[in-house]
Amino acid sequence: DAIDFGAVVDIRPISGIPVGVQAAPGAVFVTQHVVIEQGIAVTNMTISWDAAPGAVAYDVEWRWGSREWVKMPRTGEQSVDVPGIYSGQYMARVRAVSALNVSSLPVTSLLTNLQGKTSLPPAVTSLTAASLIFGIKLKWTFPPGAEDTQRTEIWYGPTTDLAKATKLSDLAYPKSEHVMQGLLAGVTFFFWARLVDRTGNVGPWYPTGAGVMGQSGSDATPVLGLLTGKLTESQFGEHLLGRIDLIDGDGPGSVNERLDELKTEIGEITDALVYVPTDAYVRDNTVRVGDNLWTAIAAVPAAANGTNGPPNPAYWVNSGQSIRTANALAAQVTKNTTDITTVDGKTTATATLMQAVQAQYRADSGEGDLLDALRGWDSAASAAQEVKVRAEENFAQAERTTSLQARVGTTEARITTVETTTATDREATAQRITAIDSRVGTSESKITTIESTANTDRQATAQQLSTLNTAVGTNQTAIQTEATARSDG
């Protein structure tokens, strides 16, 4: 048919079919050897076996002690390596695989003791701690022979007791420094370090006793310098620095200037001279009659018979009391002033209220006023408040200055507050400046705060600046915080 009719007849192929069962490999062996990888000594386990007839590949598994079996990738070789083993007992089993993917029964090796790296890593040769602003920087050095180190453990604690320390971080080799950030100023910790190699062996502590002490920096000068540079780049910065000068400076409008003016005014009243009938007085002059203080409310003409003197209500108003002895002074002062002026058709109304109390003491040496002039009072306490209000067309302002002060010798404490509110037909602002300070000898501390708000019909701004300063002799610490919120319409 193939010749007569051209039919094509394919001859069936003849295949060699393997037997249905795969023979197992010969004996399985577990050995170890050491290799050097990039200068690091690593212990490897070698699993080897005798070839199995008809096998094209082998499946290998091993385990360490009583742990789970670990399966290796299928291989056509007669041995495999397991790198970086730990010391312990190892066992391996191998299956032969045929071309039809038929696996033999496993052949298991003997339980074999293998020695991985057993020597401990060396200790670090040094560990140092340097102060940073709100942080601590740690640095350490590695000894020779530590090339197989996996990581460095850093521990820290608030005391020198290592048993109470806590792990700070694990740092991969060869990293040799770490920065601990986000700390408060002046925080102290103690640090220890140790090495762990690639096989899990843990080295000794360094140092072996009390840890290396580290303290976060308390000198805020670099931060304040950076802050100052940034602040001056904006209009707000220039305004804010001007507000800071109002607290610590002595220029026009400063807190110190206002306090000096207030003290001067109180002093003029409490130190008033005795009323003399034959003298003439102008408005706001203060005189003393007995323990009472009187302030003129109008020009007072001289009158030898004393009819124009206090307590004549046409000329005088009682402004307080002042009691003096050779070694003590107690005074209470109240002064009210009002005024309405018109300049170029512009009318301005102002009113001022000043209240103050003070008490002073000194040891009496019999010299009376001479002692006060030479040495002053041994102890003094005072409280004063001045309120000023002002109103005119499209403008209103109220201001209050409050001062509390106590002093004994060179020991002194003060609280000063200046509050101002201002409103026009287009904007409103409010500001409060507070200064709290105390001093004992060369030890001094101070807290100053500025809070302000400003609003227009299209913008609202709130600002707050706080500065904390402490000093003992030449050692100084300063912390400054600043916050601003702004909304635009």
Q: Are 206 and 124 a contacting pair, CB within 8 Å? A: yes
pLDDT band at 128 (very low <50, low <70, confident <90, very high): very high
pLDDT at residue number 234: 46
If you classify domain 28-114 with CATH, what class do you get?
Answer: mainly beta
Greater confidence (52 vs 250) lies with 52
User: How high does pLDDT run on average in the chain?
Assistant: 81
- CB-based contacts of 335-338 (< 8 A; 24+ apart in sequence): 335/265, 335/269, 335/295, 337/284
Token couple for 240: 């804010």
28: Cβ–Cβ under 8 A, 6 or more apart, which residues?
Answer: 47, 48, 49, 92, 93, 94, 107, 108, 109
Amino acid at 475: N
pLDDT at 412 over 60: yes
Q: What is the DSSP letter of 267?
A: H
**Phi-psi sector, 127: left (phi>0), alpha (psi -120 to 50), beta:** beta
Domain(s) labelled CATH 2.60.40.10 in the chain stretch across 28-114, 126-215
pLDDT at 366 over 70: no
Greater confidence (190 vs 484) lies with 190
Q: Which of 13-27, 113-127, 134-148, 238-252 shows the lowest mean pLDDT across its residues?
A: 238-252
pLDDT at 239 over 60: no
User: Averaging pLDDT over each range in 18-32, 254-268, 316-330, 332-346, which range is the top one?
Assistant: 18-32
Residue 48 burial (CB count, 10 A): 19
pLDDT at residue number 373: 41
pLDDT at residue number 156: 94
Greater confidence (36 vs 444) lies with 444
- In CATH terms, the fold of domain 126-215 is Immunoglobulin-like (2.60.40)
Alpha carbon distance 331, 442 (integer Å) = 31
Residue % of the chain over a pLDDT of 70: 80
State mean pLDDT over 421-439. Answer: 89
pLDDT, tens digit, 9 for 90 and up, residues 93-110: 999 999 888 899 999 999
pLDDT at residue number 266: 67
Q: Which of 134-138, 410-414, 479-483 shows the lowest mean pLDDT across its residues?
A: 479-483
pLDDT at 29 over 90: yes
pLDDT at 256 over 90: no
pLDDT band at 52 (very low <50, low <70, confident <90, very high): very high
Residue % of the chain over a pLDDT of 90: 23
pLDDT at 92 over 50: yes
pLDDT at residue number 153: 95
CA distances from 110 to 31, 48, 93, 107, 426 (A): 11, 12, 9, 10, 95
407: Cβ–Cβ under 8 A, 6 or more apart, which residues?
Answer: 379, 380, 381, 413
